[in-house]
Structure 1
Amino acid sequence: MATITPTTGASGLAIDSIVTGLMTIEKQPLTQLQTQISSYNTKLSAYGTLKSGLSTFQAALDKLSTAAKFTTQTATLSDGSSIVATADGTATSGSYNISVNQLAASQKLATAAFANTSDIIGTGTLKISFGTYNAADTTNGTAASFTSNLDKQAITITIDSSNNTLSGIRDAINAQNASVSASIVNDGSGNRLVITSKETGEVNSMKIDVTDADGNSTDGTGLSALAYDPLATAGSGKNMTQLVAAQNALLTVDGLAVSKSSNTLSDVIQGVTLNLKSVTSTNATLEVATDTSAIQDSVQSFVDAYNKLNSTLNDLTKFVEGGSSSNGPLLGDSTARDIMVKLKGMLAKTSPTATTFRTLADIGIKSSYVDGSLSLDSDKLAKALSTNLSDVAKLFAPSATTSDPQVTYMGSSSKTLSGTYAINVSQLADGTQSVAGTINGVAAIGSGANLTGGVDNAAQGLKIMINGSATGSRGTVTFSQGLAGELSSMIDSWLQADVGSLTVKTDGIQTSIKGLQDRYDDLNAKMPAIEQRYRTQYANLDALLSSMQSTSSYLSQQIAALNKS
């Protein structure tokens, strides 16, 4: 393309300023397109802010979205150094006295000392099995015994010329990646192979049988140096030394003696896991209680997150009288307005399953008439939690009530919608068949005495237990997702990929921006050619004017000459 240089024509024609003025007019559509693109980008950014606010609020809802969030428990011990306890929410609140008399231990066996880890021990086969060793009781005349642990498989290890050294045997045992480990310890007198059961408890005592390639599997020479039969005699099959005996944890809980093979106990107090760290000198007191402070924190987080979202929406949709430049970027936007209306409407809903605390106001959460923000009366919430915790849970989390006392709500899925559904039973469960019937008029899935709502209907995943002897109509079940569940589902519908209202809106804006940008680029690409055309036209005009000026000057000179003559 030819280089364009600013010029003033020979005729005095101001080509530069004329072309500049014309190009300003030509570029007006570009300015309009830039304004439109900027406006769309502002709105796109506003929707991004709204999406982020909704996602943050949804994260706060998660803390209140299931009934389990309201059964959080504390487990406090008077001796936290000896015992660590956690409660899973199903424990019975109360006080327990615990005394630890002995910790569970893993058995450790050691060989005789060897000068070097590379010393050749022998070849053959090791078989390590597990069980309970009971020492002889001379008082009762009971002989020592070893009872195999049928729940644990024995370990068989082949020792040959490739792994017959002390370190080779160690590596061969560890290569099994089974329930024992091996190490070499130098105690000053030499190197000893130490074999340790990975699991604690009396039932995990070890017995090591050797098939020695030298023909004598119990004499303590060759591979039989690793033989350990707890019922044999030293040097004749009991050739390793016991460093630590396998033992159970021994404790008392409220005066009841307890013996367990592990130091982690989840089956002593229902819903409580005890981790034993050391023997106690005195009784430790365990207090199990509902953690209402955690629930209060979650409710406060809900209020704070909603207020932040509400503030964002107010800023995005604000109207400033007398100044459009200060108006919110989503002022008058139908999608933003719909979100605001639905959120406020949801906060005013009444729980269909709760009895005492059915609204947010009942537990101390009120909405401002001025800006729609929420405030929390923490004292009123604390009283509600101490008075009827289950009702507060029903306000936020999934719950259900049934009109038939012999029909019990068992659970739901994320696809179960709030509503009241009819129950009809066509077949009762017995020893040979499962219950059959419908929920919400759709065939339900029977399993034992449980009916679960079928797919592709509002009651999908709703599970109820049918008791009693009546078939036919069994009343109704009223299910509520709870405020947290319904709000979260509603936010999902706005944010859902491809079909969510906000996603559709932003996708549409991005398509419009691309179309406008394409038009801008196409039009802008034509500007140099248009400017060149104008310059050529006015250069030609300038030449014509210059020629006419020359002619006019010549004629003027000729006329002047004639007049003189």
Structure 2
Amino acid sequence: MASPILPGSGLGSGLDIGAIVTALVNADKAPKQTQIDTQTKNNSLKISGVGSLKSALTAFQTAMTNLGSKTAPAFAGFSATSGTPSVLTATTDNTAVAGTYNIFVSSLATGSKVASAAFAGGAASAIPSGTLKITQNGIDIPVTIPANATLQSTRDAINSSAGPAGISANIVTDSSGASRLVVSSNKTGAGTDLKLSGISGLEIDGTQEMGATPTAGSSGSINGLAKDASLTIDGLPVTSKTNTVTGAVSGLTLNLVTTTAPGTTVTVGVEPNTKGLQTSIQSFVDAYNTLKKTIDTLSKATPDEDGKLTVQAAFTGDSMTRKLMSDIRAELTNNTTGGPVGVLSQIGVMTDQNTGELKFDAAAFTKSMATPGTTGQIQQLFAGTNDTNGLLSRMSKSLDPYLKPASITSKGMLDQRLADLTANGKKIANQQEALDIRVANLTKTLTAKYNAMDLLVGQMKATASNITSFFASLNAQQSAK
């Protein structure tokens, strides 16, 4: 039977058994409880720190990706401006040079779209089984047509088999209820016309036009044959297989939207992107400094409110954050593109010796812009000559070991650290559970012992009282004689 702690003084001894047992149990419990509380606090602090660090690294990596965007490059050495963006837009790379170009777009590049002869039975029309061969640019794409196929299931088979090649099919039904299979390609330029063969009723020669008023039995291309884009640049004729014209002007890419109105041209101006580069460099510096401050906050111990005791941070004394900053800083001085502008100090970006953060000297940057060709060299420094050697991609890549797993069976360093801390938290919880059981058992044991002691003392007091009464009685009898 359990022996509860008595609420007050023992009946036999007069001692406060409850207070005595509580004091003894607490004295036994205190060292281990203090250790567990400290471990729990530190483990929780580190788990929170891992989450904060991972969030900061992800934000920095996102910033590097955005600054290195190919569609909206933040570090374009030159900026291209179209006088009529509704007709064409323009972008540049680091090989561009300043200049002005007058462009006339006479036609856009188009792809092939072909239609079959009409099927009176509509989408449910029966199609013979076999292999439908779709030919484009001399390449054949086979499409298996199973037994009991319909025009609709044939359409679905084409989309499934030829879809990855940029070819799609649909059914167009006219007012009479007759349906045609219409097949189109996303590839543009002369010579990309489609041909279909191998299945009776679906023989289509895309090099032949159906004309303005096709008969039920006619098939061929619709909306004209596939053709190249045609334009002039400063009066010089240019053709392009696609509506993205590259290589016609060094360093300049033209994105054609529509044709130019007769008698007009679109003026495209290319000039050094000095202001845009300054803004982008400042954004880079800000992103780096934000990450640096976060890592410092998570790593450096700070004094308490009284300025006496040192309060540990989540990564105080941890080699991982030191290695992390070392990996990032190493890329700041690693010139892998081989350009004349190889380090940030050449364009006014320096390291603060006291804080380790970056400082951007706008005056020094403006001075460096006086050297011809510097804007293109800055673009090369940040964006690189390929997808991997620019500063932006290298700094982003330096964070991969911390954020991304090296293989399917592994974890990134931070995820592994979090898993270890979570497992450690479970071990601490098990220690707390074991301590609670120990405290309960010790309380029960001491209470039983002190209750037994109190009972014995009570019995001894009763015996002593009886003996005292006996001798008192004897003395009284002797005194009476």
Task: Give the fraction of aligned pairs with identical amino acids, expressed as a percent.
Answer: 25
Aligned counterpart for 2:464 among listed residues 539, 552, 555: 552
Aligned counterpart for 1:246 among listed residues 225, 230, 242: 225
Alignment of 1:277 with 2:257, yes or no, is yes
Amino acid in the other structure paired with 2:2? A
Q: Aligned residue for 1:542?
A: 454
SS of 1:286 mapped into structure 2? strand
Q: Aligned residue for 1:466?
A: none
Shift of residue 10, structure 1, vs aligned partner: 2.6
Q: Aligned residue for 1:456?
A: none
Aligned counterpart for 2:235 among listed residues 236, 255, 275: 255
Shift of residue 168, structure 1, vs aligned partner: 8.1
Query: Aligned pair in 2 of structure 1 residues 343, 379: CA closer, same or farther (>3 Å)?
Result: farther
Greater relative contact order, per chain length (Cα 8 Å cut-off, separation 6+)? 2
Amino acid in the other structure paired with 2:440? P
Amino acid in the other structure paired with 1:250? S
Following the alignment from structure 1 to structure 2, what is the Cα–Cα distance between the partners of residues 544 and 41? 49
Shift of residue 376, structure 1, vs aligned partner: 2.1
Deviation larger for 82-91 or 495-504: 495-504
Amino acid in the other structure paired with 1:528? A
- Structure 2 residue runs of 5 or longer lacking an equivalent are none
Amino acid in the other structure paired with 1:44? K
SS of 1:203 mapped into structure 2? coil
- Residues 317 and 336 in structure 1, CA contact (< 8 A), matched pair in contact too: no
Q: Aligned residue for 2:171?
A: 183
Following the alignment from structure 1 to structure 2, what is the Cα–Cα distance between the partners of residues 519 and 173? 64
Following the alignment from structure 1 to structure 2, what is the Cα–Cα distance between the partners of residues 168 and 516? 62
> What are the Cα deviations for residues 402-448 of structure 1, in whole angstroms up to 9, with x where unaligned?
xxxxxxxx99988xxxxxxxxxxxxxxxxxxxxxxxxxxxxxxxxxx
Query: Aligned pair in 2 of structure 1 residues 89, 33: CA closer, same or farther (>3 Å)?
Result: same
Q: How does 1:1-80 map to 2 (within 5 A)?
A: 2=2, 4-7=4-7, 8-11=9-12, 12-41=14-43, 44-45=46-47, 48=50, 49-50=52-53, 53=56, 56-57=59-60, 74-80=79-85
Q: How does 1:348-359 map to 2 (within 5 A)?
A: none
Following the alignment from structure 1 to structure 2, what is the Cα–Cα distance between the partners of residues 24 and 278? 85
Alignment of 1:312 with 2:294, yes or no, is yes
- Residues 173 and 181 in structure 1, CA contact (< 8 A), matched pair in contact too: yes
Q: How does 1:313-462 map to 2 (within 5 A)?
A: 313-315=295-297, 316-320=299-303, 322-324=306-308, 327-329=311-313, 333=317, 335=319, 360-368=344-352, 371-385=355-369, 387=371, 388-389=374-375, 392=378
How many residues are treated as equivalent by the alignment? 457
SS of 2:101 mapped into structure 1? strand
Amino acid in the other structure paired with 2:289? N
Following the alignment from structure 1 to structure 2, what is the Cα–Cα distance between the partners of residues 154 and 521? 67
Shift of residue 27, structure 1, vs aligned partner: 1.1
Shift of residue 271, structure 1, vs aligned partner: 4.9
Query: Aligned pair in 2 of structure 1 residues 367, 552: CA closer, same or farther (>3 Å)?
Result: same
Q: Aligned residue for 1:151?
A: 138
- Residues 227 and 238 in structure 1, CA contact (< 8 A), matched pair in contact too: no
Amino acid in the other structure paired with 1:244? N
Greater helix content: 2
Following the alignment from structure 1 to structure 2, what is the Cα–Cα distance between the partners of residues 347 and 60? 16
Q: How does 1:179-218 map to 2 (within 5 A)?
A: 181=169, 183-186=171-174, 188=175, 191=178, 193=180, 195=182, 197-198=184-185, 200-204=188-192
Q: Aligned residue for 2:440?
A: 528
Shift of residue 551, structure 1, vs aligned partner: 1.5
Q: How does 1:481-492 map to 2 (within 5 A)?
A: 485=394, 489=398
Shift of residue 363, structure 1, vs aligned partner: 2.8
SS of 2:23 mapped into structure 1? helix
Following the alignment from structure 1 to structure 2, what is the Cα–Cα distance between the partners of residues 312 and 224? 65
Following the alignment from structure 2 to structure 1, what is the Cα–Cα distance between the partners of residues 405 and 122? 64
Following the alignment from structure 1 to structure 2, what is the Cα–Cα distance between the partners of residues 351 and 156? 51
Shift of residue 280, structure 1, vs aligned partner: 0.6
Following the alignment from structure 1 to structure 2, what is the Cα–Cα distance between the partners of residues 174 and 487? 38
Q: Aligned residue for 1:300?
A: 282
Following the alignment from structure 2 to structure 1, what is the Cα–Cα distance between the partners of residues 379 and 421? 41
Amino acid in the other structure paired with 2:223? V
Following the alignment from structure 1 to structure 2, what is the Cα–Cα distance between the partners of residues 337 and 167? 60
Following the alignment from structure 1 to structure 2, what is the Cα–Cα distance between the partners of residues 185 and 495? 51
Query: Aligned pair in 2 of structure 1 residues 46, 99: CA closer, same or farther (>3 Å)?
Result: same
Following the alignment from structure 1 to structure 2, what is the Cα–Cα distance between the partners of residues 121 and 337? 68
SS of 1:95 mapped into structure 2? strand
Greater strand content: 1
Following the alignment from structure 1 to structure 2, what is the Cα–Cα distance between the partners of residues 129 and 331? 62
SS of 2:313 mapped into structure 1? coil
Aligned counterpart for 1:83 among listed residues 78, 84, 88: 88
> What are the Cα deviations for residues 46-96 of structure 1, in whole angstroms up to 9, with x where unaligned?
752456545655665667899x98556544321211224344544555332
CA-based RMSD of the aligned residues comes to 5.7
- Structure 1 residue runs of 5 or longer lacking an equivalent are 131-148, 213-222, 399-409, 415-480
Following the alignment from structure 2 to structure 1, what is the Cα–Cα distance between the partners of residues 308 and 120? 92
TM-score (norm 2): 0.68
Query: Aligned pair in 2 of structure 1 residues 311, 486: CA closer, same or farther (>3 Å)?
Result: closer
Shift of residue 336, structure 1, vs aligned partner: 8.1
Following the alignment from structure 1 to structure 2, what is the Cα–Cα distance between the partners of residues 330 and 97? 61
